[in-house]
A and B are shown apart, each in its own frame.
Chain A
């Protein structure tokens, strides 16, 4: 028998023993235990060390609000830190370790931090990492060094580095009624909503439904409350319109009644079921939400309130009633309200000795007196605990007469031996989700707590969430909320269940703090004391939002579930204002920590979409090195054995200019623009005129944005009177489509035009070079391809190897070139036929590097130059701006700023030191490597030009043309590349275009 396990009682399965380890020591517990209850049962009191002062800490609560007993759970190589021991279900093989201690939990060297109390006070970081420091380690660098050391000492658990092998998944769900919380209120609501036929989801964060029914010790209509709860759950299970989710924390309440929840599917198992994820993320859209989230018991602030053995009264009751565990044998009580008496009675019944009750109130009810008397406890009204004794566990408390009005002790203290002090400072309804949904909390003087407003737009509250703490109220409100949420009329009378014992008065005395000497913690997890809050006030912090950030109160993983109201109360007192005037902070998602894995779920790694051209496999089989361009994969080079990238692209470009080369251009965006107004539409969206384009011809077009800057370029082919095929750059295909659709749908709905994205329907191969026409002529049937039949920018239809093709004579490489388009399904077939036809001519296939090289030699622009900041004139494309018609961007393109002198203009650069240039390098007049400055512009694209035999680049340079023939320098301090260049025209090669016109 474990030292603290009661001989009987509780809802754990005593027939099933579970073995686990904590800090390397083997322990046993029972099925139904949490790590906290199992360790308490084994007599463990020390669970961890605190954040800043490394103070020993025990377990304070029994649930999701636990600030102290945070552990790291180890699963193989994977560490999951900062899990409340109260939320870990034990299972065989569970391995957990304590946190923030060195070298061990019992002997921690950093605990000396607590001797120098002022060392890490409020605003420590803000104060410390400021101001001048003299000496070699001056400035920020010194403070960064300090911070590293302090961060190692302070902090919570350590995250691991091993990849997480677990699987996570996401679910979307819809329901009429989502009930959050399955205590008596939530169960009643789910029951009523389910009866009406509504689709219901009931979410419970604990492993079993029932909430307080599992530990209240009450009877409902003569049955134990837990039996009542399991009966209701049993009935809910028979409804196929009900989905029951346990171990599911609803953590976010978003607009449109969309809620986020995480279900811990496998954490409680030694091996997850086959195919089961570790966590499942739920996105739930609910017509109505019933918030039955209960309330948290608040700690009191007094010196030594963090000593292991100090525990919330309700938690102690839960350990006794639900887990059959006594948190102590000699128990003292500190309370400002009646609820602690019920807990005390439960502990007494379970076999603990109640030594004394210090009640902050001057008088208590007869019901409380009777409970104290029955438990054999000494009742000291108007008394407080002014300090606690003991090291790593509580050995006693100091009691003294106390004035609730002044908050200080008024008489001689008395020592009492106790190994557990149960505390109740009143209750705070769990209004987090309502607050996330935008509800402004309302202060209740009676309950000394923030209550939710009566009802929200999408939610209805019930039970303790509403500040109605009795089980009878919970059930009646739950019934009403469930009917209301399901759209059922309210019943005139409801038969309320009979609850035993009768409820006690829930209203606390308005006391939050006992002022005495010593560290009194408000936020246990972040080690924020009452004095820290007062110091922040002295330093001028007035707003509660600022106070929170300055002291970090409520900013730890527990999100201030217990510390929020006591912190506000202390702040309010310092400001001399009532609490509601100080206000409260708004709660934000997540309500409780959420695993990143659950948020990402399946959306990572291989599931990124990929776009492959029809000829993709051919490229791979023929030695292409692929790289990704957006979602597309395109050949970079077709490298031979031992070839460098530069050698490969130089060879490919050279061969193309000498004989012929072929490149896959299927990725170009293609949009069918069709309809009687198609030509008019193109005139409006392009800067140049398309209505004059004859059928069977193509034209290069330029698009501006509304602000007058260049948007995209490409050729558009007139296939028929009302039928155009527009091509766009690969990168902008989607944006151009959206741009066109916007104007057509919103601005010019009168135009009769239809747009269809046909990018994926066409395969494209561009074949260029002196022998390109001969190659084409040898394989195309059904059309001639000579200069007469197919002049520059002409279009013909024919067949290659039996597949219909459309051929346009246009050139990006600057060579005599043709773009051959076929249906995507024929892409590889046509491509292979072209390769075959090119074989006698030693045609090469070339990749993007060679394509880029040839376009740089020709001075053609791409996305590197059309960067959203350049105008048409900057790119020497002013000739494309029609003066005959307005077009998108025409009104703004002549603005002062866009025609000012000194704008960056497109130029060419030639490396004068025969070393490579690279994109992003700056152009300067004089090199100053130590203090780079005076940029004239930057390089947009660079290559080795086989045609020139030099390293060249395109650049955007202030002054542009005026600098042709002048020397300048590259300044690239990051890559340590400096050197002379000559600024030249961007038309490096064949400026007259003789080659492509043939």
Chain B
């Protein structure tokens, strides 16, 4: 698996550290909405297919990247600076909902 770091170019995955699901938005720090905090800390999508992820170029420039990866093929369709785009928009499936 190759990740193309915008600073360093295409690099082997062994240089990168996975830093978690990119589909999470941190609630306002002062928020007491426990549901929102719970979703942020614990709910993960684990899709078979396209996934938004955060990777750090830990063995390189240390920057954090918002990576869109297909978990079935490891195909990477997009790499952006995480800081510029924030964590990808909160496109959470309604999997916690009670019907």
Contact = CB atoms under 8 A, between A and B. Distances in A.
Contact of B41 (A256, A684, A747, A892): A892
Most chain B beta carbons < 10 A, residue from A738, A745, A887: A745
Contact of A742 (B19, B34, B73, B86): B19
A749 B85 CA distance: 10
B74 A886 contact: no
A746 interface: yes
A684 B82 contact: no
Contact of A741 (B27, B29, B62, B75): B62
Contacts of A891: 27, 29, 31-32, 34, 37
A707 B17 contact: no
A746 B54 contact: yes
A255 B1 contact: yes
B83 A745 contact: yes
Contacts of A706: 40-41
B45 interface: no
A707 B41 contact: yes
A307 to B, nearest CB: 45
Interface string A881-906: 00000110011100100000000000
B83 A746 contact: yes
Given A438-B73, A706-B41, A738-B58, A745 B64 contact: yes
Given A255-B74, A746-B54, A895 B34 contact: yes
Contacts of A746: 19, 54, 64, 82-83, 86-87
A438 B74 CA distance: 11
B17 A684 contact: no
Contacts of B30: 886
Given A741-B56, A886-B29, A891-B29, A255 B75 contact: yes
B17 A738 contact: yes
A741 B58 CA distance: 10
Nearest to B83: A749
Interface in A236-283: 255-256, 258
Interface in A740-780: 741-742, 745-747, 749
Contacts of B73: 255, 438
Contacts of B92: none
B26 A747 contact: yes
Contacts of A747: 26
Interface in B9-44: 17, 19, 26-27, 29-32, 34, 37, 40-42
Contacts of B19: 738, 742, 746
Contacts of B84: 749
B86 to A, nearest CB: 7
B29 A684 contact: yes
A434 to B, nearest CB: 14
A887 B26 CA distance: 12
B66 to A, nearest CB: 8
Contacts, number: 55
B63 interface: yes
A501 B14 CA distance: 52
A76 to B, nearest CB: 35
A667 B71 CA distance: 38
Interface in A683-716: 684, 706-707
Contacts of B63: 745
A741 B64 contact: yes
A283 B34 CA distance: 48
Contacts of B1: 255-256, 258
A745 B82 contact: yes
B25 to A, nearest CB: 10
Interface residues of B, number: 29
B44 to A, nearest CB: 13
A28 to B, nearest CB: 48
A706 B42 CA distance: 10
Contacts of A886: 29-30
B32 to A, nearest CB: 7
A882 to B, nearest CB: 13
A738 B32 CA distance: 26
Interface string B44-75: 00000000001010100011100000000111
Nearest to A737: B62
Interface in A282-311: 285
B60 to A, nearest CB: 13
A749 B26 CA distance: 13
Nearest to B20: A742
A403 B17 CA distance: 62
Interface in A770-801: none
Contacts of B26: 747
B75 to A, nearest CB: 7
Contacts of A255: 1, 73-75
Nearest to B30: A886
Contacts of B40: 706
A742 B86 CA distance: 11
A891 B86 CA distance: 21
A680 to B, nearest CB: 12
Interface string A716-755: 0000000000000000000000100110011101000000
Chain A CB within 10 A, most for which of B1, B29, B40, B62: B29
Contacts of B82: 745-746
Nearest to A172: B12
Contacts of B58: 738
A108 B92 CA distance: 65
A745 B81 CA distance: 9
Contacts of B83: 745-746, 749
A429 B86 CA distance: 49
B22 to A, nearest CB: 9
A285 B34 CA distance: 47
A258 B64 CA distance: 24
Nearest to B27: A891
Nearest to A285: B2
A741 B62 CA distance: 8
A755 to B, nearest CB: 9
Contacts of B17: 738
A712 to B, nearest CB: 17
Contacts of A892: 37, 41
Contacts of A258: 1
A637 to B, nearest CB: 35
Contacts of B2: 256, 285
A892 B75 CA distance: 35
B32 A742 contact: no
B23 to A, nearest CB: 13
Nearest to A888: B29
Which of A255, A738, A749, A895 has the most CB atoms of chain B within a 10 A radius of its CB?
Answer: A255
B56 A742 contact: yes
Interface in A657-694: 684
Interface string A420-442: 00000000000000000010000
Contacts of A256: 1-2, 74
B67 to A, nearest CB: 12
A894 B64 CA distance: 30
A887 B30 CA distance: 9
Nearest to B3: A256
A707 B62 CA distance: 24
Contacts of A745: 56, 62-64, 82-83
A747 B26 CA distance: 8
Contacts of A707: 41-42
B73 to A, nearest CB: 6
B12 to A, nearest CB: 9
B11 to A, nearest CB: 11
Interface string A522-556: 00000000000000000000000000000000000
Given A255-B75, A706-B40, A745-B82, 11 more contacts: A684-B29, A738-B19, A738-B56, A738-B58, A741-B56, A741-B62, A745-B62, A746-B83, A749-B84, A891-B27, A891-B34
The 6 closest A-B pairs by CB, nearest first: A255-B74, A749-B83, A886-B29, A745-B64, A746-B82, A891-B37
8 contacts: A706-B40, A707-B41, A741-B64, A742-B64, A745-B56, A745-B64, A749-B83, A892-B41
